[in-house]
Amino acid sequence: MILKPTTLALLAAASLTLPARAADSVIARAGDRDITIAQIQPYLASLSEADRTALTQNPAALSQAVRTLILQQVLLKEATASDWDEKPETQALLARVRDAAISESYLESITKVPADFPADTEIKEVYEARKAELTLPKQFRLAQIFIANGTDPAKAKAKADALAKQVKSGDFAALAKANSDEPRSAANGGEIGLLPEESIQPAIRKAVTSLAKGATAGPIELGDGLYFVKILDIQEPRTATLDEIKPQIIRALRTERQNMNRQAYLQRLQTQTPITLDEIALPALLKPDDKK
């Protein structure tokens, strides 16, 4: 089987896939409201594969994207409270968005890839062909204590300074449960799971990559607060096994096949319904209507 460029691009980022976390995990706070993974994921899922890959490889860009999405929800709440969604021009915009969404959803449904695709033989063929390049990066299993800035950064810093000595010599898990402002990881003794090196925030990555297993770092100041981090385990780069990479191979092959189905269907539709344009008159579409 000849691998298409799309497949190669998707597999190239496969080793950077972040570990799964529960959908109800709190990923952020907006004022006094918790924001869960389930509330953010649908927006990120609507991005192109290339955009999602870029965010996976750039923690700072991912952080900014999530902050933008959350701010957008805050803005939406204000807009609906002022009945902005009832304005005629807003209704017209929503109608256009609705038409586009219906068309896209229909196209997706009729070009859907069969549930049994790809076959195991094809998955193994792709794995063997790309095995030498499917390397899992260096990974760190980390625990954290997060001190939120809130409305008083000075108070947060004082709290972090008071914890600094305890973190170096005390029970990190117990300190995380008692002091961390991130409830999900706090309940697990601060543990946040196994993270690829490149997916860790740059400031934290810089601190942990020079340390050994069992060491702690912090306080590390980021925009939302201060972090203490403990290295629970370090896994060196290695070739991914078929079982580890299989979900990514399946996703890449299914995406490639659906894209092929879409192009074939749209080409057939265009053949059945030829479109002709008055190319000379087209620029008039961009000019304001004088009759208004």
pLDDT of residue 11: 45
Amino acid present at 4: K
Can you give the pLDDT at residue 42?
A: 85
pLDDT tens-digit map of 193-234: 888 888 888 899 999 988 999 999 989 988 888 999 999 999
Of 175 and 168, the one with more pLDDT:
175
Q: What tens digit of pLDDT does each residue of 44-61 get?
A: 887 776 677 778 767 778
Side chain identity at 292, as an amino acid letter?
A: K
Q: Which CATH class is domain 138-236?
A: alpha beta
- The model's pTM is 0.58
Residue ranges per structural domain of the chain: 5-133+240-273, 138-236
Bridge partners, 234 (sequence order): 140
Q: Is the pLDDT of residue 16 over 70?
A: no
How many whole angstroms separate alpha carbon 266 and alpha carbon 22?
A: 38
Short-list 102, 136, 119, CA closest to 250 = 119
The CA distance from 40 to 26, in Å, is: 10
Q: What is the pLDDT of residue 25?
A: 75
Instruction: Give the model confidence (pLDDT) of 251-271 as tens digits.
Output: 899 999 999 999 999 999 999
Q: What is the separation of C-alpha 89 from the centre of its chain, rounded to a whole number of angstroms?
A: 32
CA–CA dist 66, 52 (Å, integer): 12
Query: What pLDDT score does 233 carry?
Result: 95
Cis upstream peptide for 118 (omega within 30°): yes
